[in-house]
Amino acid sequence: MSPAPGSPPARKLRVPTTSLAGCFGCHMSFLDIDEHLFELVELIEFDRSPLTDIKEVGPCDIGLIEGGVCNAENVHVLRAFRRQCKTLIALGACAVNGGLPAQRNHLSLSECLREVYQFRPGIENGQIPNDPELPLPLDKVRPIHEVVRIDYFLPGCPPSGPAIWKFLTDLIAGRTPRLSDGLLHYD
């Protein structure tokens, strides 16, 4: 898959992206690579992604996952990405360790739901949503490496544009990605 360093890839790499239990901040930071986006589109094309509107992930090279796993649909999407991607990357703090959504993990799920939908000030006769269309929440929010095998981790909340750019260019050039010179941050 990896071309020799320096030589352009023979074909564009297919890259799907998704946000599971995330806030899209990592996707926003991805767009923060600014003019590098022009270089990037010479090297990659997007598959399923909020940027393309493709609904199902196809066979791909490098998958980027933002966010941890908080409901059954997240698990489904994550497994589909793992099946289809040669290389799968945990992008950002939530994918890496659950992040902010995982801060509910010390509470029981029913406590959380009742607090939000029944006991919140201003709510009368509130009910916990039970539409069958809604994905079932998991009892705990999990980082994605606890569900499928992950090849590389890129921490940060969000990882900075320069960190994402360094990481992707290393990977596309066939190098092991390395976050040096202050690019590694957990916040």
- For residue 141, the minimal CB distance to another protein (Å) is 9
Bridge partners for 15 per DSSP: 46
Q: Is 182 in the site for another protein (CB under 8 A)?
A: yes
- Return the number of the residue (6 or 182) whose C-beta is nearest another protein: 182
Token couple for 2: 């990896």
The region of 6-14, 27-35, 101-109, 126-134 touching another protein under the rule CB under 8 A is 101-109
What are the start-end ranges of the E strands in the chain?
A: 13-15, 17-19, 44-46, 60-66, 69-71, 85-91, 137-142, 152-154
Judged by beta carbon, residue 55 or residue 106, the one nearer another protein is: 106
For another protein, the closer CB: 16 or 143? 143
Residue among 187, 161, 166 at smallest CA distance from 178: 166
Segment 135-164, which members bind another protein (CB under 8 A)? Answer: 140, 142-143, 145-146, 150, 152-155, 157
Provide the token pair at 181.
Answer: 């010179």
- The reply to whether 28 sits near another protein by the rule CB under 8 A is no
Dihedral in degrees, nearest 10, Cα atoms 94, 99, 105, 111: -90
Q: Which residue has the tokens 């980082």?
A: 143
Q: Which residues of this protein are in contact with another protein, per CB under 8 A?
A: 90, 93, 96-100, 102-103, 105-106, 140, 142-143, 145-146, 150, 152-155, 157, 178-179, 182, 184-187
